[in-house]
Chains A and B, each alone.
Chain A
Amino acid sequence: MARHVVAKAEEIPPGSRKLVTVRGREIGIFNHEGEFFALLNRCPHQGGALCKGTLVGLVTSDAPGTYDYSRPGEMLKCPWHGWEFDLRTGQSYCDPKSTWVRAYEVTVEPGEVLAKGPFVAETFPVSIEENYIVVEL
């Protein structure tokens, strides 16, 4: 486990996402209303680029013809077969116990904290004036 600095926080404003590569793995970093989430960019079903999928809300129902819509933007639909994954946990909707995508710890850290180390910044230097996205992997 190491802490990897993958982006400046300002690069991923709310509602946006960025694909980064950490130790050979493609990981999608999502900013959902100021909260950051990180998921492996690979659907466990057929290997689709999951993090390029559409973010939708969660719909549930306890009776035919009713649609209980909540958590807009917190379910990630695979661009291929449309399987839904929870942005917060990586769990699939249809089979949460055994079908899930790896989710990573992601934090925002000020450069001055990072400067004390240890961390791995693979592509750019860290400056103490800015905030950074850090993924544990």
Chain B
Amino acid sequence: MPHAASGIDCDIHPALPSISALFPYLPAYWSEQLRVRGTDGFDSILYPPNAGFSCRADWRDGAKPGTSLEALRRHALDGFGTRIAVCNLLYNVAAVRNADLGTVLARAMNDWLAAEWLDREPRLRAAIHIAPQDPGAAAEEIERRAADPRFVHVLLPAMDETLFGKRLFRPIHEAAARHRLPLAIHAQMTATHATTSNGWPSHLAEDHIAMAHAFQAQLLSFVYEGAFTAFPELRLVLLESGFAWLPNFLWRADRTWKAMRAEVPWVDTPPSAILREHVRIALQPAEAPPDPAQLPILLEQLGGDELLLLSTDWPHAQFAGNDPFPAGFPATLRRRVAEDNPRAVYPRIEVSP
């Protein structure tokens, strides 16, 4: 019997064992700085390694989650029969306040991924990691990395200091669009703002829940700043965002646009139409109605079979078992989500390295 997923997984998470893994890839000055000043690194506070959510119990092997290529092969690739999987590091480079340090870290992360993961496992692809603190330098990193077809999208954090649709990020939009590299926004926080607009919640669970607001804010920002108007080829991929919020979000966006469109006259079609064309959303976490029979109703409300992309979010504990599709997911849609949709949004993904 074929594996349940068997396709292109757009969101898995290898991890750095420690900051020292990057030292060989950093300029001498920076590796020395990090050594002599002392830092434990920049792992994201959103995923404490011992929290149950950060790694499924049946995937734990005593090591820091995500650090073993063997474990990745066993669980994330062979475990699901995955053909191709996209590696997204959650190392929190966007939160490094020194933009110069962020820029060299991001470049080192990409070099490390290429050498230690992509070169050793042909089924892997990767995100281009950038430090959006310096949009010009980030665009240069996209240019440099675009030559390697194994890099298939550009990773951005859902919660950062400034919404990413804004025009100061034009160099990033332009470089990504020119190389047909989607901008992939992943659940992530840089603590430049509280994780809710009403203050800091007490619990990590609330940070994850609040990510849905950040994703919605990013979508409105890309539409209304005119990023898709200026760069029609630009695509967004939302990773670990959930999707049950989308129908109401689009209804509300259209209602508001009809009233206020003169404020943003470059947006001359309803935001729902723009977003349906330009945005794709990863399957996990698959928040869904408790009754599986109701899931097709939600999928119908999402408005289009092209929207979802297969993801497992390995090693995070989003679901149990070896089927990332939620109960009630129509068999007829699986191939689209696992193969057709990812190939459409990632034109580079089938190119042989």
- Direct A/B contact, Cβ within 8 angstroms: yes
Question: Interface residues, chain A, CB within 8 Å of chain B?
Answer: 56, 59-68, 81-84, 93-95
Closest to A66 in B: B266
- Chain A residues near B270: list those with CB within 8 A: 94
Which residues 47-70 in B have Cβ within 8 Å of A in the complex?
none
Contact, CB under 8 Å: B262 / A65: no
A41 to B225, CA, bound (A): 35
**Cα–Cα, bound, A67→B262 (Å):** 9
- CB of A64 within 8 A of CB of B167, answer yes
A56: B residues at CB distance < 8 A:
262
Residues on A with C-beta less than 8 A from B259 are 81-83
Query: Which 7 pairs of residues, A with B, have the shortest CB-CB distance?
Result: A64-B226, A61-B265, A61-B266, A82-B259, A59-B265, A94-B258, A64-B266
Q: Does B179 contact A (CB under 8 A)?
A: no
Contacts A83-B258, A94-B270 supplied; 6 other A-B pairs, CB < 8 Å: A60-B265, A62-B266, A63-B230, A67-B265, A83-B259, A94-B258
Q: CB-nearest residue of chain A relative to B228?
A: A64
CB-CB under 8 A for A94 and B265, given A64-B229, A64-B230: no
Identify which of B167, B258, B261, B268 contacts A65 (C-beta below 8 A).
Answer: B167
Which A residues touch B260, using CB under 8 A? 82
Q: Which residues of B contact A (CB under 8 A)?
A: 167, 225-227, 229-230, 257-262, 265-266, 268, 270
CA distance A66 to B265 in the complex (A): 8
Chain B residues, CB < 8 A from A95: 258
Interface pairs (19), CB distance under 8 Å: A59-B262, A59-B265, A60-B265, A61-B265, A61-B266, A61-B268, A62-B266, A63-B226, A63-B229, A63-B266, A64-B226, A64-B266, A65-B226, A68-B265, A81-B259, A82-B260, A84-B262, A94-B261, A94-B270
CA distance A59 to B262 in the complex (A): 6
**What is the CB-to-nearest-CB distance from B138 to chain A, in angstroms, rounded to a whole number?**
20
A129 to B265, CA, bound (A): 47
Distance, CA A66 to CA B229, complexed state (A)? 12
Identity of the chain B residue whose Cβ is nearest the Cβ of A92 in the assembled complex: B258
How near does chain A come to B267, taking the closest CB pair, in angstroms? 8
Query: What residues of chain B lie closer than 8 Å to A67, measured between beta carbons?
Result: 265
Instruction: Tell me if A93 and B226 are in contact (CB < 8 A).
Output: no
A residues in contact with B262, CB < 8 Å: 56, 59, 84
Residues of B within 8 A of A82 (CB): 259-260
Q: Are B258 and A81 in contact (CB under 8 A)?
A: yes
CA–CA, A66 to B268, complex, Å? 13
- The CB with the most chain B CB atoms within 10 A, among A60, A62, A83, A94, is that of A94
Across the interface, which residues of B come within 8 angstroms of A66, CB to CB? 266
Give chain B residues whose Cβ lies under 8 Å from the Cβ of A81. 258-259
The CA-CA distance from A65 to B167 in the complex, in Å, is: 10
User: What's the minimum C-beta distance from A101 to chain B, rounded to whole angstroms?
Assistant: 14
Q: Which residues of A contact B226 (CB under 8 A)?
A: 63-65
Residues of B within 8 A of A61 (CB): 265-266, 268
Chain A residues within an 8 Å CB radius of B257: 94
A93 touches B261 (CB 8 A): yes
- Contacting residues, chain B, for A93 (C-beta < 8 A): 261
